[in-house]
Every structure is written in C-alpha cells, then in structure tokens.
Amino acid sequence: MVAMHREWSPFVVSAPGKLILFGEHAVVYGKAAIAGSLDMRAYALVTPRADNKARMVLPDIDVDVLFDSHTLPLLQSTSLSHPSEVEALVPDSINIPEGPGRTAVLTFVYLYGCIFAERDRNTGFTICVRSLLPVGAGLGSSAAFNVALSATLLQLTGQLREEGAGAGDRKLINQWAFHGEQVAHGTPSGIDNSVATYGGFLKYVKGEPSVNLESSHALRVLITNTNVPKSTKALVAGVRALRDQHPSVVDGILDSIHSISISAAALFQSVGEDEAYLERRMQDIIRINHGLLFTLGVSHRSLERVREITAARDLASKLTGAGGGGCALTLIPGGIAGDDVEVVVREMESEGFCCYQTVVGGGGVAIARSVDGRATVEQWLAEAIARHGGSSANSDGDAYGGAVAGFATLPAAAISELKPQ
Ligand SMILES: Nc1ncnc2c1ncn2[C@@H]1O[C@H](COP(=O)(O)OP(=O)(O)O)[C@@H](O)[C@H]1O
Ligand SMILES: C[C@@](O)(CCOP(=O)(O)O)CC(=O)O
Ligand SMILES: [Mg+2]
C-alpha cells in the first residue's frame, strides 16, 4: 500500500533551555533579571501522516498519544477563563497520564485547539520530542518543549512567514509558548519562554518586552544539579512572607539585586574590554548575588556545598532559579584548564550532584529541513541510527513510523550531535 502524504517533508524544530544568571526572586517584584540560553536543547522531529491524525511521542517522559484531530476541542479566547483549565476539554477517549506527561498532554490539547482552531485539521502529523534538558530542574525544560511545540503547530498551519522561524515569527511563537507555560504553572513570569524563543542573553522585567542584550560574549558555565527537589511556589512565598515582616530591609536587598542585573547587562554589552577583566567583574557580582539570595532564605546546604567546593578553587558560584535545592551555576573562566574543571566535577559527583558543562548565549528557536549538512532530515536520521544504534521497529503502520521509532530510541549522544539547527 502506498501511503498518501500531503506535500511537506519532515522537519526538526529545536529550542534551548534557560539559565537565570542574575535577578531571580527580585524579578517577581518588578526588578530586572538577566537570563541566557543553554546549549542544551529540546528537539522535535515532525513527520507527515497519511491518516490525518495527530500523534505526540515523548520518549523522555514515556508518553505516546494518538489524537483523532477532529475530536480535539476547537478553542477560542473565550473557551476558557485561563489556559490551566484545559483539563475539562480533553476528549474522553484520551487517557491523561500521571506525572510530567500530564502537563505535556494538556499543553498539547490546549495549543492544538488554539493554533489549529478553524484551520485545516486534515494535516496529519507525528511530533516526537527528545530533550537534553533535565525535567523539573529549573533549566526551562518546559519552555523549550512549549516553544518547540508552538513553532511546530504554527509551521503546520502556515502561520510562520519565514523559512526556519526567523525574527519576524518569534513574537508569535513566544506568545503561544507563554500560554503553554500557563497551562503548567498558572502564572509564569515569561522569562523562560522568552529565552527559549529568542536565545542569547535577555534582560527581563515582568510585563515588559524582553530586551536582547546582543552580547558578543558567550559564557562558559558549569551547572550543578544538587538533585534536591524544590518548590518554586513555596520559595517565592517564603520571600514574600519575609518581605511582609521586614519591608524596607527586604526591598533594600531586592534593589541591590536589581543593580546587579543592570551591572551585568552593561558587562555583557561592553565592547573592547579585556575578557579576563570582564570575567573578574562577573565573578564579583555572582558572589554578591548569591549572598543576597542566601540572606533572603532561599539557599540550601547543598547549594552552600557547591559554593564552598568552587570557592576553594577561586571560582564563583550562585544558585540559579528558585533555590532551596535545584541548580547552581559556576562561571568557568577562559584561563582554567579542562582537568581542573574535571576535578571540580568529580568532587560534585561525590556529593551526589550532577554537572553539565555548557555555554550560555546560543541561538533561540530554529526550524530545519536538513540537519548536520545532510540533504534531508531522514538522511541524517538513517546515518545516526547506523552509527549509534536505535530501533526502527514500526509499530505505527505509518510510512514514517520507523523514522519516529528511530528518533525516539537514539541515545542522547546522537541527539546532541544535532546542536542548534
Ligand atoms: N523531554 C521532555 N519531553 C516532553 N515534555 C517535557 C520534556 N521536558 C519537559 N517537558 C514538559 O515540561 C514539564 C516540566 O516543566 P517544569 O516543571 O516547569 O520544569 P523545568 O524547570 O524543567 O521547566 C513536564 O511536565 C513536561 O510537560
Ligand atoms: C524565583 C523565580 O524568580 C525564578 C524561578 O525559577 P525556576 O522555577 O527555578 O526555573 C520565580 C519567577 O521568576 O517566576
Ligand atoms: Mg518550567
């Protein structure tokens, strides 16, 4: 049987995770924060289907759902009072999974319903997302997922004007990804989806459009995940309670954090300065920012351990995100030997932490029909499967089912070869 496909070829959408460099918590009170994109990304392989259905495969979180497009609700701005209420609209035929898959399925239903809306629902497709970002560690895995999903749906409905999701399309992608974040978190600040869309370094103030710092400096950092679970909501509430008790004291700290973000923005934008000088100034403000967050009560003994281990080698660290566990960042100066970084990594691992060496400030969302210099996505995939292994067992019956199975089972090392496409 020859499968009939609509006239489009498979493509890959990718979007980065985020790292808050300065300004967490203060950003909740209208102060500036600085965040940058990570070189760890989420990648969506999107392939046509002949049966006009919509399939979402999320191997990292064990989700594989097949939607009959016509049973998905068609959403308008008035359908719900808030995106987080989407659950009631999920078709009865769909089993909503527990855990992280739950949010992903609800987000899909919401974004599909809004973005396809009255458009041609006969565009059958499979989206398979693989991510190099740890889930729920404060590195913006949800935003990378939401940006990749929004860009995919906008591309499929012909709403993107430029090939590859160019500058003119990013505002729209970002807006839908923000709604996706609302499904999961209710009231996100918007910083994560902005970084995942635009990439680079952003200065972010709540309620204002983010400012791309157009920096030519890429920062090398070591991210240490303490693996201590944290609740952003509880930590934000803790700072609020402290501020209620000591308004002028806490406002003074928040103002200092704001000044740090402004200084950081100036450092990122500086031209002609010696890199070593910039790194030293950056290390100063990293240390000060961490100290201020500590005084707000959002550090944790695991995060203090990261700070001690790195301080013993003259490296500066701070918690990133909400704190109370989660991740810390350490600036890796240009002059440091790789072996010295390895020693630090081993020490962190002996504490039960895990580390990611990464570069901050790379590209935002991208859509590619050819990857890694190959003529087509399928060609890259076939070679990657041959090199790294992976299953092409087609349990779907769709012409691209084997390709999807291959992408779903590739080892992370093969996915990381994709880099920002
Ligand atoms: N690899 C992935 N595949 C599919 N969905 C993902 C993936 N990573 C994250 N998500 C989505 O993001 C949610 C986690 O987001 P969140 O709790 O905000 O953590 P984070 O701090 O990593 O953004 C998951 O429940 C899921 O909906
Ligand atoms: C504490 C805060 O500033 C950042 C929280 O970051 P995360 O949830 O750890 O990624 C809260 C916010 O900006 O909404
Ligand atoms: Mg998130």
Greatest mean pLDDT range, 218-222, 314-318, 389-393: 314-318
Q: Which residues pair with 65 in a beta bridge?
A: 56
- Give the pTM: 0.93
Cβ-proximal residues to 250 (8 Å cutoff; 6+ apart), any chain: 239, 242, 243, 296
| pLDDT confidence of residue 36 | 96
* pLDDT tens digits along 400-411: 999 999 999 999
Q: What percent of the chain has pLDDT over 90?
A: 69
Q: What per-residue confidence (pLDDT) applies to 4?
A: 45
Q: What is the mean pLDDT of the chain?
A: 92
* Mean pLDDT along residues 374-381: 88
Going by alpha carbons, the residue nearest to atom 16 of ligand 1 is 136
Set 192, 215, 261, 317: catalytic member: 192
CA distance 270 to 257: 20
What does the pLDDT look like over 328-376, one tens digit per residue? 999 999 988 888 999 999 999 999 999 999 999 999 999 998 887 888 8
Confidence of residue 313 (pLDDT cuts 50, 70, 90): very high
Closest CA to 362 of 132, 27, 187: 132
Which position has the token pair 């500086």?
270
Which among 142, 189, 194, 261 is annotated as catalytic?
142
What is residue 3's predicted lDDT score, i.e. its pLDDT? 41
Any bridge partners for residue 330, and if so which? Answer: 222, 317
pLDDT in the model for residue 184? 82
Q: Name the strand (E) or helix (H) holding 141.
A: helix 141-156
pLDDT confidence bin for 1, thresholds 50/70/90: very low
pLDDT the model gives residue 272:
81
Predicted confidence (pLDDT) per residue in 52-109, tens digit:
899 999 999 999 999 998 889 888 877 788 888 888 888 888 888 998 899 999 999 9
Residue 2 has pLDDT above 70, yes or no: no
Max CA pair span of the chain: 73
Q: Atom 27 of ligand 1 has which residue's CA nearest to it?
A: 104
Residue 27 pLDDT exceeds 70: yes
In this prediction, residue 165 carries a pLDDT of 83
**Stretch 105-121: mean pLDDT, rounded?**
93
What are the DSSP E strand ranges found in 250-353?
317-320, 327-331
Asked if pLDDT for residue 198 goes beyond 50, the answer is yes
Q: Average the pLDDT over each of 43-52, 103-112, 269-278, 281-290 and give the range with the smallest value.
A: 269-278
d(C-alpha 306, C-alpha 286), whole Å: 13
Per the annotation, the verdict on 142 as an active-site residue is yes
Which atom of ligand 2 is the closest one to the Cα of 192?
10
Quote helix, strand, coil % in the chain, to nearest 5. 45, 20, 35
Let me know: does 35 contact 204? Beta carbons within 8 Å. Answer: yes
pLDDT at 187 over 90: no
Q: Quick one: which ligand is closest to 134's CA?
A: 1
Residues enclosing ligand 2, CB less than 6 A? 24-25, 27-28, 138, 189, 191, 232, 236, 321-322, 326
State residue 392's pLDDT score: 74
The confidence band for 171, taking pLDDT boundaries of 50, 70 and 90, is very high
Q: Which pLDDT does position 81 carry in this prediction?
A: 81
Angle at 174 between CA 230 and CA 146, to 5 degrees: 50
CA-proximal residue: ligand 2, atom 6 (nearest): 321
Q: What is the ipTM of this complex?
A: 0.96
